[in-house]
Each structure stands twice: as structure tokens, then as C-alpha cells.
């Protein structure tokens, strides 16, 4: 027996609802995620011989101030993800350059990326040696690697710093 127009409309409405539910279910597991490609990096650069802060060092796209401090802003991007994606690997690689001194590379690699923004890492003090000052043979690499980072906890509204301040030589 042929379907009446009422039954046909009811069947189409049911299949349309099912398709909508399936599309919504699929989209529920997908989304655009905010990923950190480099956390905010802060630190200080010193002369290894004298212990004095070095002004004018190029650290990535930043330049050190009179007290040797630098701040590289966090960089991020948006990415389409599906489900419970834990995040892409994150490679931090920035050079510290000052004419007359050795070149140092700030380096870190994490397999799961940085936590959701904001993310702040404090670089332990960097000590640059003058070129030819130490009398050692070269390592074969045009730079020395520094991979000492301290991940900073979220900012405390009271303004107090957890763990104290270990800056300086």
C-alpha cells in the first residue's frame, strides 16, 4: 500500500532530525582550539666574567634593557581539533646575540605543548662569555644551548610571588 503524504512527511522529518543530531554530535567533538606556539619568556642576561647585566643583547625579537632583562611575548595560533586532542608539540628556540660575545640558544621541547593561555616561563639567568676569553676549544657548534626554564604558576591576585626571586648572578 502506498504511503500517504502525511506518513511521507513524517518519515522525512524523522530522517532530517536524525541527520541534524548526527551532524551536531560530530561537531560536538570538533572545535577551534587556541594553541600556544611560544609561551611568554622572561629572564636576564649577564657578562660571565664580571657578572654585570648586558644591555642591548638581541633575544629573539626583543632587546635587553639596562638591567639585562628581556621579555618575549607569548605567541599563539588557532587550530581546528577533533575530540580530546592533547595539543601539538611545542619547540621554543630563540637566540641570544651580542657582538663580541658567544651566541646562546634558548631551547625547550615539550611533546604536549603549553597549557592554555596565558603561559609564562621564566628563563634562568644567562651568562655570556666574551669570544676567545675562556681559551677552550670550540664544541663544533656555533652556539651554546641553554634549556633551563621555570614554568610560572598563574598570577596571584594579591601580587605575591610564589617560590621567591632567584634572579641575578
Mean pLDDT of 37-55: 92
Look at residue 7 and tell me whether its pLDDT is greater than 80.
no
Q: Give the pLDDT confidence score for residue 77 in this predicted structure.
A: 78
Contact 17, 23 (CB under 8 A): no
Mean pLDDT of 33-52: 88
Look at residue 8 and tell me whether its pLDDT is greater than 50.
yes
What contacts 40, CB < 8 A, 6 or more positions away? 71, 72, 73, 74, 118, 119, 120, 121
| Sequence ranges of the domains in the chain | 31-133+140-151
Q: Confidence band (pLDDT; 50, 70, 90) for 93?
A: confident
Number of Cβ atoms within 10 Å of the Cβ of 132: 9
Name the least confident of 5-9, 14-18, 62-66, 70-74.
5-9
Q: CA 48 to CA 114: how far, in whole Å?
A: 31
Question: Which three-class secondary structure state does DSSP give residue 106?
Answer: strand
Model confidence pLDDT, tens digit, residues 51-90? 999 999 999 999 999 999 999 998 887 776 665 555 677 7
User: Per the structure block, which three cell numbers stand in for 35?
Assistant: 594553541
Decide if domain 31-133+140-151 falls under CATH 2.60.120.560.
Answer: no
Q: CA 13 to CA 9: how far, in whole Å?
A: 6
Amino acid at each position: 500500500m502506498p504511503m500517504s503524504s502525511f506518513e511521507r512527511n513524517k518519515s522525512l522529518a524523522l530522517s532530517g532530525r536524525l541527520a541534524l543530531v548526527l551532524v551536531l554530535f560530530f561537531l560536538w567533538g570538533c572545535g577551534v582550539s587556541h594553541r600556544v606556539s611560544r609561551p611568554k619568556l622572561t629572564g636576564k642576561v649577564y657578562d660571565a666574567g664580571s657578572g654585570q647585566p648586558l644591555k642591548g643583547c638581541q633575544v629573539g625579537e626583543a632587546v635587553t634593557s639596562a638591567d639585562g632583562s628581556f621579555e618575549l611575548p607569548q605567541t599563539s595560533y588557532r587550530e581546528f581539533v577533533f575530540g580530546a586532542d592533547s595539543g601539538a608539540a611545542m619547540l621554543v628556540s630563540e637566540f641570544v646575540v651580542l657582538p663580541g660575545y658567544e651566541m646562546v640558544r634558548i631551547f625547550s621541547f615539550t611533546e604536549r605543548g603549553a597549557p592554555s593561555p596565558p603561559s609564562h616561563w621564566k628563563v634562568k639567568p644567562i651568562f655570556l662569555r666574551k669570544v676567545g676569553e675562556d681559551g677552550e676549544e670550540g664544541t663544533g657548534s656555533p652556539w651554546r644551548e641553554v634549556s633551563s626554564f621555570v614554568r610560572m604558576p598563574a598570577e596571584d591576585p594579591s601580587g605575591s610571588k610564589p617560590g621567591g626571586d632567584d634572579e641575578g648572578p
